[in-house]
Structure 1
Amino acid sequence: MLTPHERLVTAHFAQFISDHKLQGVEKIMNQRTRHVTVVLEDIFQSQNASAVVRTCECMGLQDIHIVENISKYSINPRVLKGSHKWLDIVQHTSKQHDNTEACIAKLKGEGYRILAADPDEDGVSIHDVDPTQGKVALLFGNELRGVSKRALALCDTKVRIPMYGFTESLNISVSVAICLNSIVTKLHQSGKTYGLSDEEKDHIRLQWYRKIVRNSELIEQEFLRAIQ
């Protein structure tokens, strides 16, 4: 829940934003979801990780999880196109624990089913997954090795993208886009609501206003001093 001061700051920032942009913020806010999230495990190519972040933002996800065991997450600003500013990137970077295990445990504790993307034929087609049956976390592995054995052992289900050519796998950013398009489309077609709570919207709205308004940090400091 926002503090009284944070609510005042939100209202103050709104004065610096055009009505058109405020309406755009609310429209996008109402399409955001935490019912679906994406987990990237040890992605080492910055352009791939950045393309996935951009795809997740475009598809209306609010969260993406980055697991770093052997590869450090890095970004490519030219690919991101600023998309990382509008969602929450949760990095799992502990040097004392298996970050794959920690991330999966966290998500399962929050009620997510873990669906590991794997090309093997024994996996379920992504098009057969019903996201209306509960929250979904799509886990994608390293560009060379794929999803780790530990992740496969801990996941709830393996999912695959049906393919009809000689090549056995897709680029990771393409795989994420196909999977999210299938899952998110089904959510919207269901007619049910999978959006953010009012409390989540309040926090994200303030977060976004701070990014939209120029010199927002200075404006906020001056405003808080004036109302004290």
Structure 2
Amino acid sequence: MSEDDFVLQEFYKIITPNKVDLFERIAPQRSRHIVVCLENIQQDHNASAVMRSMDCLGFQELHLIEKNNNYQFQRDIALGAARWLDVVQHQTPPEPGLDAIDSLRKKGYQIVATSPHHKATTSQSIDLVQPMALFFGAEKHGISEELKENADVFLHIPMHGFTESLNLSVSVAILLNTIRTRLASSNIQWQLPQTEQTALKIEWCERILNGGPQLAKKFREEFKKV
């Protein structure tokens, strides 16, 4: 038994059986094959709605690029989604967006920028084999020039009406739903590896319990004595 397996076993002794069942059912459906990146979002409720969609569709990691705005999610809209997601904030001056792009590219992600003005591909046709960092720009101005210059692929949602764009959170939900459906029917290994699933379940246990991190530390010390 690994250290993480031991820690999770100890946590499962003290959380409710319902939570155990939920964690065991949901963790295998989580993915970091696609991560979402929000660039300088101006309206907090949009980002909160994005978090809710990500949780519902099983995408685990959200990156917030905060050049001019500091994001504060709205709990009533997120409906607890923030507890279950991993949120990475990029605030390094002068260009936090470039910091995010560099960091994600080093991890093997292709940089995909969503823009109605670059109609290169759609969520139905984009290649999903390589992990994807899906960038969304600010509500009024869209993606930044830095992102346009550094993106590997541009993605758009085809429009068939008079209006040329959708609400940010709606766009995210549409794209993620299509991508999730395609991943589920593919041979791509989009799920988290078993070791990452175990680590994620430990994090969830820590988040729902008072003193959760301290308990994890205690369990790890006990494991070393076994």
TM over 0.5: yes
| Aligned residue number for residue 107 of structure 2 | 110
User: Structure 2 counterpart of 1:146, which letter?
Assistant: G
Give the 3-state SS of the residue equivalent to 1:124 in structure 2: coil
Separation in 1, partners of 2:197, 2:212: 19
Deviation of 1:193 (Å): 2.9
User: Structure 2 counterpart of 1:112, which letter?
Assistant: Y
Deviations 1:135-167 (A, max 9, x none): 111100001100011101100111110111111
Separation in 2, partners of 1:190, 1:124: 19
Aligned ranges 1:149-168 → 2 under 5 Å:
149-168=145-164
Give the 3-state SS of the residue equivalent to 2:166 in structure 1: coil
5+ unaligned residues in a row in structure 1: which ranges?
Answer: none
Separation in 2, partners of 1:102, 1:148: 14
Tell me, yes or no, if structure 1 residue 141 matches structure 2 residue 137.
yes
Deviation of 1:207 (Å): 0.6
Q: 8 Å contact 2:40–2:138 — kept in the other structure?
A: yes
Deviation of 1:67 (Å): 0.5
User: Structure 1 counterpart of 2:30, which letter?
Assistant: R
Between 1:189-198 and 1:152-161, the stretch displaced more is 189-198
| Aligned residue number for residue 208 of structure 1 | 204
| 1:222–1:170 Cα change, 3 Å | same
Q: TM-score, normalised by structure 2?
A: 0.90
Deviation of 1:63 (Å): 0.7
Tell me, yes or no, if structure 1 residue 129 matches structure 2 residue 126.
yes
| Aligned residue number for residue 173 of structure 1 | 169
| Aligned residue number for residue 76 of structure 2 | 78
Deviations 1:73-97 (A, max 9, x none): 12111111110111110000113x4
Separation in 1, partners of 2:149, 2:220: 51
Between 1:13-22 and 1:161-170, the stretch displaced more is 13-22
| Aligned residue number for residue 41 of structure 1 | 39
Q: Tell me the matched-pair count.
A: 223
User: Structure 1 counterpart of 2:172, which letter?
Assistant: V
Q: 8 Å contact 2:111–2:152 — kept in the other structure?
A: yes
Deviation of 1:226 (Å): 7.9
| Aligned residue number for residue 117 of structure 2 | 120
RMSD: 2.2
Deviation of 1:191 (Å): 4.1
User: Structure 2 counterpart of 1:193, which letter?
Assistant: Q
Percentage of pairs with the same residue: 35
Give the 3-state SS of the residue equivalent to 1:70 in structure 2: coil
User: Structure 2 counterpart of 1:20, which letter?
Assistant: N
Q: 8 Å contact 1:45–1:74 — kept in the other structure?
A: no
Tell me, yes or no, if structure 1 residue 64 matches structure 2 residue 43.
no
Separation in 2, partners of 1:142, 1:107: 20
Separation in 2, partners of 1:25, 1:165: 42
Q: 8 Å contact 2:118–2:155 — kept in the other structure?
A: no
